[in-house]
Chains A and B, each alone.
Chain A
C-alpha cells in the first residue's frame, strides 16, 4: 500500500482549494486511465474538462463523486480528505461511513440523467432532501419547487421521467442535484445524449448557475463553444494527463501544445 505520510491530513490556511487532486492515479489492470493527476479547483471556479474520448475526463468526475475508487494519491474537498480518512495520525483509505460524511458536499449530473423512473419530477428532487438530509416534506417541497422554477420545470413537476423530453429530464436532474445544496457540482457530458434543439435549454440553466451562484463546478463537455463561454479555466486531457490548461481565451485562441492544437482543429472540422 502507498505510504500516505507525504499527504497532509488537512489542508489549512487561506485560499484552500475547494477540490484538490493530489497525485491521483487510476488504472484498470494495465490500462492507466489517470496518471498522477494534480488539479486544484478554487471555490466558485468553473472548470471545463475537454479532450478526446478515453483521455480520462469522465473518470476525474466519477472519482470525485466516489463512484470509482482511486488507486493512489488523495482527493481533498474543502481542505479535508475525501478518499482517505485520518486514523491514528495517518491517512487510511476511507470507510463507507467517511465517504457518506464527505460526499454530501458533492452533487453530480449524468449524461443519461439517471432520474428515478418510478418517481415524478418533484419526487425525484425531494427524495434526497427527505431521505438523506432528513428534511420535512414541506421544507423539501419548498426547496424543490424553487429549484424546479429556476430550471423551468415547475409546470411538469408531477410528470414521471418517461413523459419528459431529454432536455426536460436533464433540467430536473440538475434541480435534483442542487436540492442537496452541494458545494461542488459535477456535470458529466450532460448535453451529449440530447437532441441538438434542446441542448440550449440545459446549457442556459448551467449559464444561470454560473452567473448567479457561487458554486464550484467541474464540467466534462464536448461543446467547445459552451466551455469557452462560461469557464474560468479549461483543462485539456490527453492520455490520462492534463496536457494543457488555462483561461478559455488562451487555450482556445492560442493553444501551446501540439496535441491541443490537433484536437481543437479536429473538433472544429467536425462542426
Chain B
C-alpha cells in the first residue's frame, strides 16, 4: 500500500542534503582528476614513442573493458596488500578519476583529431614548438568538439558516485541505505535520492549545452 510519510521526509532531508554535498564533492574531485589525467593519456597516445603509445592504449582499453565497481574494490581492498593504504574517499576518487580519465582521453583524442592537418602545418610554418602548437592552436580548437562528450561524462560520473557507497563513502545512496535500515522505511529516502539526482542531472545537461555554445561563440566558431 502506498503510504508516504511527510513528517519522516522532512526529518531526513537535512541528512540527505548533507550527503548530496558529499556526492557533489566526490563527482567534482573525480572529474577534476579525470580531466587532467585524461588529457595526459590522450597526449601520450599521440606521442612518437611507440612503446609508450602502445602501453597507454592497452591501459585505456583495459580500464574501459572492466567494471568500475571492480576497480573501486581493487584500489580499496587489494591496494593494502601492496602497502597502499588509502581512505575510502581517496580510494574512491582515484578509482573513479582513473576510470573516467580513460573515457575522457578518447573524447580528447577525437577532438584533437578533428583539428585539420593544415592547422598543424600553419603552426610549423610559424616555427611554433610542439607545446605551443598544442596549447595555442590545437587544444583551443579541439575543445568545442570535445565539450559535448566531456559534459556527458560529467553527468555520468555524477550518476556513478553511488558505487562509492560499497566502500563506505557517505554519499547519497550510502546515507539513504543507513536511514532506511535505521527506520525500516525505504520509500522516502530512495525516492528523495532519485529526485535529488534528477534535480541536478537535468539542469546540468542543459547548462552544459549553454556553456558549449558560449565557448564556440567565444572562439569565433
Contacts and interface: CB of A to CB of B under 8 A. Distances in A.
* A and B from one complex: yes
Interface of A: 65-67, 96, 100, 103-104, 106-108, 110, 112, 114-120, 127-128, 131-132, 160-163, 176-177, 180
Contacts of A96: 130
B135 to A, nearest CB: 9
Interface of B: 116, 118-119, 121-122, 124-130, 132, 136-137, 140-141, 219-221
Contact of A100 (B122, B129, B136, B137): B129
Nearest to A104: B127
Given A114-B119, A131-B132, A160-B220, A65 B126 contact: no
Given A116-B119, A127-B136, A162 B125 contact: no
A117 B122 contact: no
A132 B132 contact: yes
Nearest to A120: B220
A166 B221 CA distance: 16
B127 A180 contact: yes
Contacts of A128: 126-128
A180 B125 CA distance: 10
A57 B123 CA distance: 22
Contacts of A104: 127
Given A132-B132, A162-B220, A114 B122 contact: yes
Nearest to A110: B118
B122 A131 contact: no
A103 B118 contact: no
A161 B220 CA distance: 8
Nearest to B121: A67
B124 A67 contact: yes
A77 to B, nearest CB: 13
Contact of A114 (B118, B129, B130, B220): B118
A132 B126 contact: yes
Given A110-B121, A114-B119, A116-B119, A132 B128 contact: yes
Contacts of A119: 220
Contacts of A132: 126-128, 132
Most chain A beta-carbon neighbours within 10 Å: one of B118, B125, B130: B125
Most chain B beta-carbon neighbours within 10 Å: one of A65, A120, A127: A127
A117 B126 contact: no
* The 6 nearest A-B residue pairs measured at CB: A160-B220, A114-B122, A128-B126, A114-B118, A118-B219, A108-B125
A131 B119 contact: no
Contacts of B127: 100, 103-104, 128, 132, 180
A107 B125 CA distance: 6
Most chain B beta-carbon neighbours within 10 Å: one of A65, A100, A116: A116
19 contacts: A67-B121, A103-B124, A107-B125, A110-B125, A112-B118, A115-B122, A116-B137, A118-B140, A118-B219, A118-B221, A119-B220, A127-B136, A128-B128, A131-B128, A132-B126, A132-B127, A163-B220, A176-B126, A177-B126
A96 B220 CA distance: 32
Contacts of A176: 126
Contacts of A112: 118
Nearest to A105: B127
A106 B140 CA distance: 26
Nearest to B215: A118
Contacts of B219: 117-118
Contacts of B136: 116, 127, 131
A106 B126 CA distance: 9
Most chain B beta-carbon neighbours within 10 Å: one of A106, A110, A117: A117
A263 B119 CA distance: 33
A117 B124 contact: no
B48 to A, nearest CB: 10
Nearest to A115: B122
